[in-house]
Amino acid sequence: MSGSGTRGSGMRGSGARAGDWTRTGRVKASAQLMLGWVALLWLIEAVDHITGHALDAYGITAREADSLTAIPLAPFLHFGFGHVASNTVPLLMLGFVTALSGIGRFLAVCAAIILADGFAVWLISPPHSITAGASGLIFGLFGYLLIRGFVERSPLGVAVAVVIAAVWGTTFLAGALPTDSMVSWQAHLFGLLAGASVALLTRPRPEVAAV
């Protein structure tokens, strides 16, 4: 519609205001989504605490067929309030930045990471272990943002990748190593790989010139 409008200064001002509203709306929607997501995690953990940690059993149990249905649920469950607290800030920050590219795209990226990472955890975790928590998704978002800017050749995306690598790079790389038997390095490692893979698989295709 703006392309067919008049070329007067009034129309340009209106278009600029519309663009500003769109950017502001996207920031607001991304912030609301992530605040709501984190609030849901805390609410679920409160219910888990009240019920004597009855929800912990719904995590991913390695190689048990019935536990495959737990794959999409496990990122919303945690083993105590300390576990939720440790995931809150990185999920808020990385989720918010990822969601700025579009809520639909963000949800699709999260779904792909959760499913790929969850299946890998189910497949290779130690026998009888139960895995839950948002950290696999967090590592996936880190991997996604780290790669996305470079494959899309976006200066802003590259800047974001450099910043998150500088802030969290060492922590995330250490978390993907098998250094603590009480921490699912499998979820961390395969979340990281899943996020990077999603960025590569969804990169823009080069245009082919018409002959």
The sign of the dihedral angle between the CA atoms of 52, 175, 94, 70 is negative
DSSP-derived letter for residue 56 is G
To the nearest whole percent, how much of the chain has pLDDT over 90? 68
Task: Write the pLDDT tens digit of every residue in 17-48.
Answer: 444 457 888 999 999 999 999 999 999 999 99
**Taking 90 as the threshold, does the pLDDT of residue 180 lie above it?**
no
Residue 11: band (very low, low, confident or very high) from pLDDT cuts 50, 70, 90: very low
Choose among 88, 92, 78, 67: nearest CA to 44: 78
Q: How confident is the model at residue 7 (pLDDT cuts 50, 70, 90)?
A: very low
Average pLDDT, the chain: 87
Q: What's the alpha-carbon Rg for the chain, to the nearest Å? A: 20
pLDDT surpasses 50 at 9: no
**Crossing angle for the helix pair 81-99 and 155-175, to the nearest 10 degrees:** 160
Instruction: Report the pLDDT value the prediction gives residue 206, as an integer from 0 to 100.
Output: 59
Query: What digits encode the pLDDT tens for the residues 93-147?
Result: 999 999 999 999 999 999 999 999 999 999 999 999 999 999 999 999 999 999 9
Which pTM does this prediction carry? 0.85
Report yes or no: 192 and 139 within 8 Å, Cβ to Cβ. Answer: yes
pLDDT of residue 207: 54
Q: Is the four-CA dihedral 29, 145, 71, 89 of positive or negative sign? A: negative
